[in-house]
């Protein structure tokens, strides 16, 4: 009896170790999520040349202090490019030391609320700012910030006056699903062809929005934002952390199974 019990314990422990090893290594079977962050270092990411340690890993999360010393692009890009995918990640804003004096009140259709003279109404908001760039295009950015409209909007498309009204409305969040500053939030970002869906903390804030002109493939980036004049922030800084980042690549349109015909 003792021998059988010991053998059972060995099998259970061994199975658990195998499961843990599978979770910590690379891609699993087709259709499975692939980790983009191993919790230990920035393997698989392109740290900006000259960054000098401002993008770093601290206690199992990617930590950024918005102070990269890179002379050019300061964003953190994946080494690989992606086409259609489901991207999952968790993020949190650490603090909001900068008060943004110029935040518009965004209406449901992506336009700004105006005063009696036809000018945009602007309000001060304690603000930090980051985001996720999709397919190598900074315009296709899923925003992370403190604006009343909430995170998840695609600022570059919403504010592009050349875009159709339906496009600008489509990339405007349906609701503010952000948690409090300092708390962790969860994104699920789906790209199929040029269509984007964003689920934030279980709430669909962007649903099948069109991103005209978005590349078919490209890398993903975690955004740098913010600058200082002397010791003071002059724009909202990316005082942000990321964890639990994974991606599941989806088959291209021509490779998807055809829908079954009704009989």
Task: Write the pLDDT tens digit of every residue in 170-185.
Answer: 999 999 999 999 999 9
Tokens 């843990």, residue located: 20
What pLDDT, on a 0 to 100 scale, did the predictor assign at position 258? 58
Rounded to the nearest angstrom, the gap between the alpha carbon of residue 262 and the centroid of all alpha carbons in its chain is 38
Per the CB < 8 A criterion, the answer to whether 239 and 128 are in contact is yes
Give the number of other Cβ atoms within 10 Å of residue 221's Cβ.
22
What pLDDT, on a 0 to 100 scale, did the predictor assign at position 252? 78
Cβ neighbours of residue 10 closer than 8 Å, sequence gap 6 or more: none
Q: What gap in Å lies between CA 87 and CA 247, rounded to an integer?
A: 4
What pLDDT, on a 0 to 100 scale, did the predictor assign at position 44? 98
Tokens (6 digits) for 239: 């005082």
What pLDDT, on a 0 to 100 scale, did the predictor assign at position 31? 67
> What is the pTM (predicted TM-score) of this model?
0.85
Taking the domains of the chain in order of start, what are their residue ranges? Answer: 34-251
What pLDDT, on a 0 to 100 scale, did the predictor assign at position 130? 98
Cβ neighbours of residue 12 closer than 8 Å, sequence gap 6 or more: none
Looking at the domain 34-251, which fold is it?
Jelly Rolls (2.60.120)
Q: What gap in Å lies between CA 244 and CA 221, rounded to an integer?
A: 15
- The tens place of each residue's pLDDT in the chain, 263 residues long, gives 444 444 343 333 344 443 333 333 344 445 689 999 999 999 999 999 999 999 999 999 999 999 999 999 999 999 999 999 999 999 999 999 999 999 999 999 999 999 999 999 999 999 999 999 999 999 999 999 999 999 999 999 999 999 999 999 999 999 999 999 999 999 999 999 999 999 999 999 999 999 999 999 999 999 999 999 999 999 999 999 999 999 999 997 766 665 555 44
Question: In a 3-state reduction of DSSP, which class is residue 18?
Answer: helix
């Amino acid at each position: 009896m003792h021998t059988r019990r010991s053998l059972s314990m060995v099998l259970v422990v061994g199975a658990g170790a195998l499961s843990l090893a599978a979770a910590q290594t690379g891609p699993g079977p087709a259709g499975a999520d692939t980790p983009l962050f191993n919790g230990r270092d920035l393997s698989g990411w392109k740290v900006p040349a000259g960054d000098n340690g401002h993008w770093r890993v601290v206690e199992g999360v990617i930590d950024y202090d918005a102070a990269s010393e890179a002379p050019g692009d300061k964003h953190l890009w994946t080494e690989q490019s992606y086409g259609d995918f489901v991207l999952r990640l968790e993020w949190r804003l650490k603090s909001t030391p900068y008060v943004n004096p110029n935040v518009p009140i965004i209406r449901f259709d992506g336009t700004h609320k105006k005063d009696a003279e036809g000018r945009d109404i602007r309000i001060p908001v304690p603000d930090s700012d980051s985001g996720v760039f999709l397919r190598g295009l900074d315009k296709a950015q899923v925003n992370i910030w403190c604006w009343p409209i909430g995170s998840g909007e695609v600022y570059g498309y919403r504010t592009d006056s050349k875009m159709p009204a339906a496009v600008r409305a489509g990339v405007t969040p349906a609701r503010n699903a952000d948690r409090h500053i300092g708390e962790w939030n969860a994104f699920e970002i789906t790209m199929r062809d040029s269509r984007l869906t964003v689920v934030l903390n279980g709430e669909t804030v962007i649903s099948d929005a069109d991103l005209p002109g978005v590349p078919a493939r490209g890398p993903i980036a975690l955004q740098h934002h913010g600058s200082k004049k002397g010791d003071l922030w002059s724009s909202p800084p990316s005082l942000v952390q990321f964890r639990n980042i994974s991606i599941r690549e989806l088959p291209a349109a021509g490779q998807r199974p055809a829908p079954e015909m009704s009989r």
